Each structure stands twice: as structure tokens, then as C-alpha cells.
Structure 1
Amino acid sequence: MEGKDNASVRETGDRPQTYSSPAIIERRRRILEETRKVIAEQGIAALSMNEIGQRAGVAKRTLYNAFQTRERMIAAAIQEYFDDFVSRISYSSEPGTLQHNLERMISVVQRNRKIRNYIRAIMSLYFSSDVDHDIWAAMHSPAMHHNRQWISALEAKRHLQPWVKVDSLVDDIVRFEYATINDWAQDRIPDDEIIVRLVSGYLSCMLGSLRGAARKEVDALIKDIGERGMEALPVPRKLREQKEAA
């Protein structure tokens, strides 16, 4: 079986390979799912290739053929989980809008509440001084992409202040977003406050970079959140339907 695996999964440079057959795709899914489970149960420091191989039912050599390193396996598990979740959010607004970005943030926080141990583990790693670059990038890059959609749209409409550099602003906003989520994961922000604290802080950070109609929109929303709390925030379609059904 191992020889067959090696023939099916060829090295392509020094990066993880692309999978195509249903059997290999399923095996990859199983490996990454077990990796996430171990992160949630034991943290990343205790994670070993031997244990993942045993839990996923594959040879240790197969793991190295597929991912090259333990760190790349962890990075793939984190990034694919995030990407898959975000791709399944049922949005009520168009991509590249403030409302769309807030729906993403709110949906992610709602999901995070169900997997607190996992979020605590990956946030602790994200802010660690010796985190592997591949793992850090796997957490940082997806949030950069989703925030850039809105901020690039603002730039195209000339709603950013002239001194603002898009990449730097996106980078700073992601760091703020993750710092707030980390404080929640470490029990420094209560569950019932995290969404309002995250969104209002995020918008306050953005406000100084905006001008024109976008600044007026964000300023009005911050004031509305201050008055009405969660009721002022956009609700993703699925969450709204669940609320209406209840």
C-alpha cells in the first residue's frame, strides 16, 4: 500500500502536492481532520506525525510524501478548514462591501464559539515568537484576502485617505482582528461581548483611513452599534433564517 501511495503522490518541488483521485482526496481529508482534532485536544506542541498517521490510518512516510514537513501539514489543516467554512457562508450582501465583510467576521466568531479549544491553540501559535512561517502564513493569508476585497473596493472608489497603503492597512486590520479573537479565546472577553467588541473596534481602526461616503457609513454604524449593540449588525442569511424559524 505504501509503495502504491508513493507512486501516486509525486514530489513537485518542495511544496505539498496536488491530489486528484477520490481515494487520495479522501485520505487527505482524513489526515487534515485528524490533525485539527489533535490541535483541539492537545495543542500543536504535542502533535506528532506518528499519532496523526495512526489516527488517519496511513503510513508516516505517506504523510511526509504528501506534506514534506509536520509544519506544512498543520498549515494545510488550518488553512483548508478556514477556507472551507468561509466558502459555505450564506451571505446577504455583495462581495467587496462593508456588510459582506462584517457578515464573514460575525459568522466566523459564531463558529469559533463551538471550537474554542482549537481557536485558543492556533491563536496562541499565531502570536508565538517562534511560530513556523508556513503555519503563520496559513492563518494570516486567508484573512488578508477577505479583508482586501472590501479595502480594494474602497481604494477603487477613492474612499481611502491619500496616504493609505492598501497592503499595510489590510495587514494591520488582520492583526487587530486576531488579537481580539485571541483575547476572547483566552477568556479576556466574554462570549456575549465578543462580536460587538470585535466589530466596533475593527470599524474604529478603519475610520481614520476612510473619507467621503465610506467614512460616513462607518461612522454611522459605529454610533448605531453603540446605541443598539448586536441589533445594529448585519446578519448572514443562514443565521437570519435560523432566528426567524425560532
Structure 2
Amino acid sequence: MLAEARRMIAEGGLENFSIRKLCQRADVAQRTFYNAYESKDRLIALAIREAYDDFQKFISYRTDPFSLEGVIDRTLSTNRRNFKVRNYTKAIVSIYFSSTTSNDIWKTIQDMTQTGWADWFKVLKEQGLFKEWAEPDRVANEMANLQYSIISDWCLGRLPDEEYLSALFTATLTILIGATKGEVADKAEEMLQTFHISCKLPEFPKPAGRVDGKEISD
């Protein structure tokens, strides 16, 4: 059912997704579905998370995940892929901002963005490169909320394609400049100043990997 749900989301997004259609395509009874997943949102969250995890485990980045360059590289690379999976992206932000989404489903989606930031922020805290007042988990939570908000604006057409990555990039660096100190804050400010002068996003070695036996790159 998860595999079929992923195909349906990719084909038609959430607006065309229904449990009845899913059960017909997966050849299972609706009672079987509800016994296994309880609700449509829970299934969709699991399907989206599974798709994310399946892709990420085959990707090999060439930048250090615990560096400013590494986190910006991953942020830009992940969101460039959103251009290719718009329906998945719309489904993610729709569930994330829905008032009816249960907390555990919301947390499943938030962790896709929040966990990597929290891990790096904790390392910075230990190295004395995080502001004294800043708590790693709280700032990571705020980073996830900010990024999903920008992604939502793009999905809703409020932010054109050509401004999407730039908006995400500048907002991310703004939070980092506020929460970090020392060489990390200096590098973040320098990166932001360079962008405002050149209007060009930084470039990193393209991540590569294999999915379904095929070579892939961002």
C-alpha cells in the first residue's frame, strides 16, 4: 500500500488521492487499510517519509555534513529536487500546516528537515560556536518551520520558481547568523554578502548515488 500510495501522490497529488482508489489499485479491502494505518494522513506521512529515506540513503554528498558548506549544500540539493517532485512536496506542506494533522504525523514530517540541523547545532554548541541563549533543538525547530513556510509559498504559487531557492538560502543564512558565532557566523555572513553582490547561489560538487541501479546526480 505504501508503494502504491507513493505512485498515486506522484501522479496526482493529494487532491486526487483517496483511500477507495488506493485500495482498488492495491487490491486490498478498506478494512485492511484502516487496521494497518488508521488514517489517510498517517499513510501519506509514512509514504512520504519512506520515499525520502529511500532516496537519501543512496545519495553521497561530497561536503562535510557538519560544516556550513555541508548544510547549505544539502538544503539546496534537497530543494532542487522538489522541482521534480512537486506533488510530493505539496503533500508534505499540506499535511505539515493542516490544523487536523496529529502531532506524531507532523513530527514525522518535521524530522525530515529538523534532525540534520539539530545534530549540527549540538556539535556547534559543544564547540562554543552557538550563541549562549540559543538552544539547538529549539533553533532547529524554528529552522524547519521557516523552511517549510517558504516551501509552502512556492507550492501555492506565491513564490516563483526562480526565487524559490534564493529565498530559502537567504532566510536560512539569516537564522544561522543570528544563532551562531565565531567562524560559522562570519562564514554565513560572508556567504550572504557574496550572494547579494553576485546574485548567484554557491556551487558545490554535485551529490551522486544509485537508485534502482541507475546513476543519479542532483
Where on the TM-score scale, by shorter chain, does this alignment land: which range?
0.7 to 0.9
Question: What's 1:95 paired with?
Answer: 65
Residues 171-180 or 190-199, more deviating: 190-199
Distance in structure 2 (CA, Å) of the matches to 1:98 and 1:66: 41
Give the 3 Å change call, closer, same or farther, for CA 44–117 of structure 1 in structure 2: closer
**Partner amino acid, structure 1, of 2:114:** M
Displacement, 1:70?
A: 2.9
Displacement, 1:141?
A: 1.5
Question: What's 1:166 paired with?
Answer: 136
Contact 2:76 2:165 in 1 (8 A): yes
- The structure with the greater share of residues assigned to strand is 2
Structure 1 gap ranges (5+): 1-30
Contact 1:96 1:150 in 2 (8 A): yes
Residue 232 (1) aligns with residue 177 (2): no
Question: What's 1:205 paired with?
Answer: 175
**Partner amino acid, structure 1, of 2:52:** F
Displacement, 1:99?
A: 1.8
Residue 32 (1) aligns with residue 37 (2): no
- 80, 86, 111: which one pairs with 2:50? 80
Contact 2:41 2:101 in 1 (8 A): no
Q: Deviations over 1:104-158 (max 9, x none)?
A: 2112112110122332233123112222333312211121111112212211211
TM-score (norm 1): 0.76
Q: Tell me the percent identity.
A: 31
TM-score (norm 2): 0.85
Q: How many residue pairs align between the two structures?
A: 212
Q: Deviations over 1:205-239 (max 9, x none)?
A: 22111111111111111111222333524343339
Give the 3 Å change call, closer, same or farther, for CA 198–62 of structure 1 in structure 2: same
**Partner amino acid, structure 2, of 1:136:** W
Larger RCO, structure (CA 8 Å, separation 6 or more): 2
**Partner amino acid, structure 2, of 1:111:** R
CA RMSD of aligned residues (A): 2.4
Give the 3 Å change call, closer, same or farther, for CA 242–227 of structure 1 in structure 2: farther
Structure 2 gap ranges (5+): 210-215
Residue 185 (1) aligns with residue 160 (2): no
**Partner amino acid, structure 1, of 2:92:** I
Distance in structure 2 (CA, Å) of the matches to 1:194 and 1:89: 23
